Amino acid sequence: MRSNGKRRTKKKTRGFTKKRGFTLIEVLIVVVILGVLAALVIPSVTSAMTDAKQEAAEARASQVLTMITRYNQFYPATAISTADGAIAAADLAKLVTAGYCVAGDLTNQVTNTQAWSFSAGKVVPTP
């Protein structure tokens, strides 16, 4: 209430009550702007996630190569890679039991397999 005792009432303009708020057009504009921003951001986030998985797979492959090299130097007669460079999941378990790596997940995050192979002197995930 005002100090002069009059009550506040809504203003009428040409028979319509003036209400405060957003119009449908304003809300639609905001939704369109948010949609455009989402369309720009989502591909870059997805790309960054894919790159991170690939880098993690390469780092894990490098660790596996180091473990295999150490194992093969100590047990040359029972090398865990075949002539074509393939390394089976069961052979990866030998690295853990022999103490060459800590028990953990040796899964390739890109292909979701535990298959690795040698290629040009590097351990790479087998698709």
List, in order, residues 6 or more apart from 104 with CB less than 8 Å away.
96
List, in order, residues 6 or more apart from 20 with CB less than 8 Å away.
none
pLDDT in tens, the chain (127 residues): 455 656 665 555 666 666 778 889 999 999 999 999 999 999 888 888 888 888 888 888 788 778 777 777 776 555 555 655 566 666 666 766 766 665 555 565 556 665 555 555 555 555 5
- 39 DSSP assignment: H
* DSSP annotation string for 61-127: HHHHHHHHHHHHHH-GGG-SS-TT-EE-HHHHHHHHHTTSS-S----BTTTTB--EEEETTEEEE--
- Is this prediction's pTM over 0.85? no
Quote the CA–CA distance of 7 and 13 in Å, as a whole number. 18
